[in-house]
């Protein structure tokens, strides 16, 4: 029961919503755009690895140079065959009458020159002349001095100086020199036979 003089609560009238609240006259917001998916990445291209050609230096380093083993036959045009001119060459220092003499075996062209210089001399004279011609070319130094520097005379060419000097040696000295030279030739022949031995078993 209501208390005396107490006024009943009056509920305030509700206000109608405004146009703004109703959204009248407003442009509706566009729907949120969904970003377009990114285009697929192109397939990766596999680049074939290309090995560059070897340089000329690398190619030359891979080519064997000289020192061909006995019994080896090669037709490689890049193999250095310049060492052939010294194949079988023997060079040594020998002692004759307390003189230190450096001598070497002759090449084919040097030996031919010595034979040509002798000509058609008789047996004894020819043999002695051949020793002089060969030794003049085979001996390099006597006690470290070149033969042409020991020579004292009027000859101008190197060989002519050597031949005239050796021709003045005593026969005994000349014979001992020839023995030493033939020993070098025997050693050269032995080396050649040793190198040819593997070929006999092929």
Read off the CATH number of the domain in which 158 is found. 3.30.2220.20
22 lies in some domain: no
Q: Where are the alpha helices (DSSP H) in the chain?
A: 19-22, 56-61, 108-118, 123-138, 147-150, 158-167, 171-196
The total of structural domains in the chain comes to 1
Q: Shortest CA distance to 177 belongs to which of 188, 186, 168, 166?
A: 166
107 lies in some domain: yes
**φ, ψ for residue 32 (rounded to 5)?**
-60, 125
25 lies in some domain: no
DSSP state of 95: E
Per-residue model confidence (pLDDT) at position 84? 76
176 lies in some domain: yes
Measured CA to CA, the distance from residue 61 to residue 49 in angstroms comes to 25
pLDDT digits (tens, 9 = 90+) for 173-200: 999 999 999 999 999 988 888 877 766 6
pLDDT digits (tens, 9 = 90+) for 42-98: 555 454 444 444 444 443 444 444 444 544 545 555 556 667 777 888 999 999 999
44 lies in some domain: no
- pLDDT category at 142 given cuts 50, 70, 90 is very high
7 lies in some domain: no
Quick count: other Cβ atoms within 10 Å of Cβ 184? 19
167 lies in some domain: yes
Percentage of the chain surpassing pLDDT 90? Answer: 42
- Domain extent, residue 193, equals 88-201
């Amino acid at each position: 029961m209501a208390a005396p003089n107490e006024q009943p609560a009056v509920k305030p009238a509700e206000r109608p919503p405004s146009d703004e609240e109703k959204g009248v006259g407003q442009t509706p917001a566009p729907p949120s755009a969904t970003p377009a998916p990114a285009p697929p990445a192109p397939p990766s291209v596999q680049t074939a690895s290309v090995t560059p050609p070897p340089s000329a230096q690398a190619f030359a380093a891979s080519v064997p140079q000289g020192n061909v083993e006995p019994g080896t036959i090669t037709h490689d045009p890049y193999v250095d065959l310049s060492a052939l001119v010294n194949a079988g060459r023997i060079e040594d220092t020998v002692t004759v009458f307390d003189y230190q003499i450096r001598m070497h075996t002759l090449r084919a062209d040097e030996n031919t020159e010595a034979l040509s210089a002798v000509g058609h001399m008789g047996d004894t004279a020819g043999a002695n002349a051949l020793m002089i011609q060969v030794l003049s070319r085979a001996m390099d130094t006597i006690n470290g001095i070149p033969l042409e520097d020991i020579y004292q005379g009027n000859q101008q060419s190197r060989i002519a100086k050597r031949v005239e000097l050796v021709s003045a040696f005593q026969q005994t000295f000349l014979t001992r020199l020839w023995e030493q030279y033939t020993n070098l030739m025997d050693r050269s022949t032995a080396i050649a036979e040793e190198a040819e031995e593997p070929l006999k078993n092929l």
